[in-house]
Structure 1
Amino acid sequence: MSAVKTVTDATFEVEVLKSDKPVLVDFWADWCGPCKQMAPVLDKLAQEHGEKIEVVKLNTDQNPETPRAYGVMSLPTMNLYKDGEVVKQIIGAKPKRLLEAELAEYL
C-alpha cells in the first residue's frame, strides 16, 4: 500500500490548501514515463518523512482544473504547498537524494 494519497480537483482545497503541514503535490499522468519513475521515490519520501510532510498525487488528465489554476505546464511537476501557498516548485524527475535536498527545510 502506497503512503502517497490521491487528491482530485474536488478534494484539493481540503487535502492540500487547508492542511496543517506542508503538502508535496505530484502532478502526473499515466502516459508520462518520468512520472512513473518518480512514483517509488515519492512513496519512499512519504514513508520516511510522513510526520513532517504530506505527499499526494493528482492525475492531470482526470483533474485538469487544479494544474491549470497553478500553471503546471510540464510533467512531472511537484509543488510544495504550505499554509495554502506554493512555496517551492520542482519540475522533472529527480533522484531521492536531490529531491530531499530541495525539500530539506521542510523535512
Structure 2
Amino acid sequence: MSYAKYNNLGRSNEEVVDPNILNAVVKVQNTAHKKHLVSNNKVCVINVSAGWCGPCKELAPKYAILSQNYNREGVCSLAKENVDEQISFQEAPPVTGVPTFQIFYKGQFHTDIVGADISLVEQTIRNLLQLK
C-alpha cells in the first residue's frame, strides 16, 4: 500500500513533480540579479507570480520542467520572481496580473504573456532561440 502526500491528492502520477525540480528554477534576488540574467542570455523568461495566486501554483511544476528543458547558460534562462516578496524592484514593463511571463531577447524586453498559457511561453522561447 502506498500513501499520497496531501499536496498530491487528486493528481495523477504524471502530475506529481519532485520538489527538487521546483527548487531548481532560479529565483530573482534583486534588481542587479535580474539585469544580469537578462543581459547575459539570448533569451530570458521571468515568471512573475504571487503566493496567493492559484493559477501560479498550478503552473509552477510545468514551468520548472520547462526550465529544465531550456536553461543553458548564456543562451536561455528561465527564472521566477514573487511580487509579494520582491515588489521593491519591480521595474518596467509593469505587471498587470499574475502569472505574467516577461520575455527578454538579447537584453531587451520582447513581450509579456499574462496568464497561465505555458504552451505559448514555450513556443515563444523556441521561436526566439531560432533567430540569429
Query: Normalised by the shorter chain, which TM-score bucket?
Result: 0.7 to 0.9
Confirm or deny that 1:105 pairs with 2:131. Answer: no
Identity over aligned residues, as a percent?
A: 28
Q: Which moved more, 1:20-29 or 1:48-57?
A: 48-57
- Provide closer, same or farther for how the CA distance between residues 99 and 12 of structure 1 changes in structure 2, counting only shifts above 3 A: closer
- Provide closer, same or farther for how the CA distance between residues 75 and 83 of structure 1 changes in structure 2, counting only shifts above 3 A: same
- Provide closer, same or farther for how the CA distance between residues 102 and 84 of structure 1 changes in structure 2, counting only shifts above 3 A: closer
Gaps of 5+ in 1: none
Structure 1 match to 2:61: 40
TM-score of the aligned structures, taking structure 1 as reference length: 0.83
Distance 1:28 1:8 in 2: 14
Structure 1 match to 2:103: 80
Matches within 5 A, 1:3-82: 3-10=24-31, 11-14=33-36, 16-51=37-72, 52-82=75-105
Gaps of 5+ in 2: 1-19
Aligned-residue RMSD, C-alpha: 1.9
8 Å CA contact 1:46, 1:53 repeated in 2? no
Residue 90 of structure 1 aligns to a residue whose secondary structure is strand
How big is the shift at 1:100?
1.9
Distance 2:70 2:38 in 1: 19
How big is the shift at 1:54?
1.0
TM-score of the aligned structures, taking structure 2 as reference length: 0.69
Distance 1:72 1:66 in 2: 12
Kindly provide the amino acid, as one letter, of the partner of residue 5 in structure 1: V
8 Å CA contact 1:8, 1:59 repeated in 2? no
8 Å CA contact 1:27, 1:67 repeated in 2? no
How big is the shift at 1:68?
4.4
8 Å CA contact 2:105, 2:128 repeated in 1? no
- Alignment coverage as a number of residue pairs: 105
Distance 2:89 2:96 in 1: 12
